[in-house]
Amino acid sequence: MSKANFMIGVATGAVIGSLVTWIITKKEYERRNQEDVESVKTSLKEYYEGKYKEEIEEEFENKNAKEIASESSNNLDTKLLKQFQW
């Protein structure tokens, strides 16, 4: 009996140890992954905000507001019409 109890104890310890290790590593890697995702989101947001901000400023420097508004409405109309073409 003592040999069987020893084997059951070792197997139980291995299972419990594996589960604890899996839970700890899962939480750690989820935390790291979330940090990486947030870092990429922040970097891309800053990049695109800066890029589009520069484009918008250049567009307003070169054109007046009426020209920009008329181009925007013309582009919108053609996009809508293209959706309904067969």
Q: Which two tokens stand for residue 32?
A: 């790291």
Q: What is the pLDDT of residue 69?
A: 60
Q: Which residues are within 8 A (CB) of 68 and not within 5 positions of it... i.e. 6 or more apart?
A: 59, 60
Q: Is the pLDDT of residue 36 over 60?
A: yes
3-state secondary structure of 80: helix
Q: Are 70 and 62 in contact (CB under 8 A)?
A: no
Phi, psi for residue 64 in degrees, rounded to 5: -95, 170
Confidence of residue 49 (pLDDT cuts 50, 70, 90): confident
Is the pTM here over 0.85, yes or no?
no
- How many CB atoms neighbour CB 63 within 10 A? 13
